[in-house]
Amino acid sequence: MSLIVDIRKRLGDFTLEAAFEAEKGITGILGPSGCGKSMTLKCIAGVERPDAGHIELDGVTLFDAARKIDFPPQRRQVGYLFQNYALFPNMTVRQNILCGLRRENSREARERRAREIVRLMRLEGLEEHRPAQLSGGQAQRAALARILVSEPKLLMLDEPFSALDGHLRDSLKLELRDLLKSFGREVLLVTHSRDEAYDLCGRIAVMDAGRLLTVKPTKALFADPGSVEAAVLTGCKNIAAARKTGPYEVEVPDWGVRLQTAREVREDLKAIGIRAHYFSPAARQNRMRVRYAEEMEEPFELILQFRTEGQSPDSPPIWWRLPKDKRPQIFPEEIGINPVNILLLY
């Protein structure tokens, strides 16, 4: 039971190249806006046609350019939750849900299953409402209800929270997580938010500029993103070009320092990354002399920005993020970083 995707599509000067496999459970597709995430989902759903490649779901070939197989979207049994939920505005919630039940022949069964899903998705009392009268959360539940009654083999969610207010997001995230667990099949979740990806997805595929870069288990990806793009997308704030100077040593010219690493460095190293949380004045290794530059205040955290003594003037200051109550009385003259926390980026 799995989804296998290997597709290419040209759109003007943009080329989409995505190859990955998704197992049961939630696979996140993480990438900046316009990187081709939604286009990938559309190709899988069959509403866009790739130029070349192959798409297979649970052993059934949905698309194969070489063998001229191209199932219409109606026959792919892929559930697609659009960013704006795409509820039909001229129909009530009930009519929208019945649209997902058109494959069911008996009218009685259709009505029964519509009632069931209305109860399950807590839409009671809203059956005769039009989409325009629903709140963001209700619209999302109605759209999910409409998809779930159609019994898709694969569920794809395109930025499911982007249309919602911030305070709704967290509670809906929990709701959706429980729902997706009970769905028990492959789920693809497209997002540009690393928090959403980290929280909901077991595995994450990183996408940038039309290319799918890596697919890794979530924890492994955050611990070792592997590429500059993946480091940026997983929220790494301090990234600088670097080159190998020893099996466990790198030089960072912009910062004017050499750093010890815990992982062995490969020859093709491009850059290193250090997450803003991991600096410490007390760390004994990789100490560098630093100067306070600037600070930014968030509700519960502080971002202290500093520059190293030998840092080139055109490289941006380094971010150090810490809880407000941990703010040092005097800004330290030296700061260190544990070699384990140096990300090697290729």
Partner 1 sequence: MTIDWYPLLNSLRIAAISCVLVFFSGIFFAYYAHRLPRTVKGLLDVVLTLPMVLPPTVCGYFLLLLFGAKRPLGIFLAQFGVKFVMTWYGGVLAAAVVAFPLMYRTARGAFESFDETLAYAGQTLGLSNSYIFWRIRMPACRQGILAGTVLAFARALGEYGATSMLIGYTPGRTATISTTVYQLWRTDDEAGALFWVLVNLAISTVVLLAVNLLEDKQRRGAKR
Binding positions for partner 1, rule: CB under 8 A: 42, 45-47, 72-80, 82-84, 86, 88-90, 99-100, 102-103, 130, 132, 146-147, 150, 152
3 or 304: CB nearest partner 1: 3
Residue 226's alpha-carbon distances to 25, 42, 188, 239, 266, in angstroms, are 23, 28, 22, 12, 11
Take residue 82 and report the two structure tokens written for it.
Answer: 């659009």
CA 130 – CA 95 distance, rounded (Å):
9
In single-letter form, the type of residue at position 180 comes to L
Contact 275, 232 (CB under 8 A): no
61 or 150: CB nearest partner 1: 150
User: DSSP for 25-47?
Assistant: EEEEEE--TTSSHHHHHHHHHTS
Shortest distance, CB of residue 60 to partner 1, whole angstroms?
Answer: 16
77 or 315: CB nearest partner 1: 77
135 or 312: CB nearest partner 1: 135
Burial letters 179-192, b for 16+ CB under 10 A, else e: bbeebebbbbbbbb
Shortest distance, CB of residue 14 to partner 1, whole angstroms?
Answer: 17
Contact 16, 8 (CB under 8 A): yes
138 or 261: CB nearest partner 1: 138
Torsion of CA 62, 63, 64, 69, to 10 degrees: 80
19 or 86: CB nearest partner 1: 86
Residue 19's alpha-carbon distances to 15, 37, 194, 207, in angstroms, are 13, 12, 21, 11
User: DSSP for 42-97?
Assistant: HHHHTSS--SEEEEEETTEEEEETTTTEE--GGGT-EEEE-TT----TTS-HHHHH
CA 238 – CA 236 distance, rounded (Å):
6
Shortest distance, CB of residue 308 to partner 1, whole angstroms?
Answer: 49
Shortest distance, CB of residue 250 to partner 1, whole angstroms?
Answer: 46
Shortest distance, CB of residue 87 to partner 1, whole angstroms?
Answer: 8
Contact 272, 236 (CB under 8 A): no
Shortest distance, CB of residue 267 to partner 1, whole angstroms?
Answer: 46
78 or 250: CB nearest partner 1: 78
Shortest distance, CB of residue 132 to partner 1, whole angstroms?
Answer: 7
94 or 203: CB nearest partner 1: 94
Give the CA angle between residues 314, 318, 320 to the nearest 5°.
165
Shortest distance, CB of residue 95 to partner 1, whole angstroms?
Answer: 9
